[in-house]
Amino acid sequence: MLENWLKPTSLDRPDKPYLPFQLGSKIIKFDKKIPKLKDAQVALLGVGKASDTVRQSLYKLSYSFSELNIVDLGNFRKNTVDFMIPAIEELLKSNIIPVLIADFPFLSNSSYKAFNRILHHVSLMVVDRQVNIPEAKNPDPQNYLEEILLQQGQRPFHLSLIGCQAHITDPSLFSYLQSSNFDYLRLGRAKANVEELEPMIRDGDLMTFNLSSVAGIIAPEQSDPLPSGFSLDESCMICRYAGMSDKLKAFNVIGMNSKLKSHGLTAQTVAQLIWYFLDGVNNRKKDFPVSMDGLVEYIVDLKGHDYQLTFWKSSRSGRWWMQIPFKRGKSIQRHRLVSCSYNDYKEASNGELPERLLHALRKYS
């Protein structure tokens, strides 16, 4: 069935065969027919020539994923959101993580809408330098989040924005996010301690990583490169954290120039982002939400409040969650544990809660 939506890549055969340790010799590719998906865990999907250019760099990287079966399903036959949704939906239903490589940011909505067909109350993670407030009266074609934020039945249960740059962002955006109990972390704070991003990233059902969030010096072939942004190391850490999350089911890399140069710096940057995401998936710990086995319970009496907070620590990974005292229906039970850090637990023990966890308490209760 997937042949209705996908076609093989237009990649030329390499001048010499890929070495045994390289991804190109390990990934099962869509050639004359769709490969068997029975044991697949991750599927690469592309849009246009830019994705093929990224593949040229990605296939040359090492295959260090002994526990991971990866298939490359080629490119979409049509580059429209509605056309792409059924193929992504089919992969999600088969518990295969779609990795979408696309130029135009709005195409990432296909992953979100496919997810929303299967499971409502989707938690969306976005890494981007600038997002505008959605305007129903004056729609902005550059604001790819506008449609899902405004359309009835499409609005995410939760939205987290990482890497927004204050000097190019309408200040009212931050008020909008706060009033919606959404989370955001500006570029400066995110760069100050990238490790503290891990709990925030772990709560997402899917991540969209816009290349515009990366400094132009390491990814010059984007629509409007800026000197500011995440470094390559920071970007790779973010993508690896996304891959390690047992909750995350889809990953998009968007925003590269459709005329990406073969083996150029930008293509290599995108290839590394995808590689580190795959490395994260390969190192998943299978704790919450896969299983609560091995989670250790900690109770905190929060000063000034008439209830206790329950924290959980995984003996497998050392990761932490805060349990929300639900007052809402069963439909959001899978969000009942909000990812946090040991530092968050210590602050709660001292009678204080970080703003992100306060947002969660207001949203879920």
Q: Where are the domains of the chain?
A: 2-282, 295-364
- CB contact burial 300-331 (16+ within 10 A = b; e otherwise): beeeeeeeebebbbbeebebbbbebeeeeeee
Q: What is the mean pLDDT of residues 312-317?
A: 94
Element (H, E) at 97: strand 97-101
Which DSSP string do the residues of 103-125 spell out, in sequence order? SSGGGGHHHHHHHHHH-SS-EEE
pLDDT (average), residues 49-60: 94
- pLDDT above 70 (res 235): yes
Provide the token pair at 356. 């992100």
Q: What pLDDT does residue 326 have?
A: 66
Q: Which of 96-100, 157-161, 327-331 has the lowest mean pLDDT?
A: 327-331
pTM comes to: 0.94
Quote the CA–CA distance of 309 and 301 in Å, as a whole number.
6
Which residues does residue 44 pair with via DSSP β-bridges, in sequence order?
Answer: 72, 99
Cα separation values, 162 from 120, 194, 258, Å: 23, 11, 24
Rounded to whole angstroms, the Cα distance separating 234 from 269 reads 12
Instruction: Using a pLDDT cut of 90, give the percent of the chain over it.
Output: 68
Q: Residue 352 has what pLDDT?
A: 86
CB-CB neighbours of 115 under 10 Å: 23
pLDDT at 324: 84
pLDDT band at 60 (very low <50, low <70, confident <90, very high): very high
d(CA 141, CA 88): 23
Asked if residue 154 lies in contact with residue 204, where contact means CB atoms within 8 angstroms, the answer is no
> Under CATH, which architecture does the 2-282 domain have?
3-Layer(aba) Sandwich (3.40)
Distance CA 7, CA 46 (A): 10
Tell whether the model's pLDDT for residue 45 goes beyond 60. Answer: yes
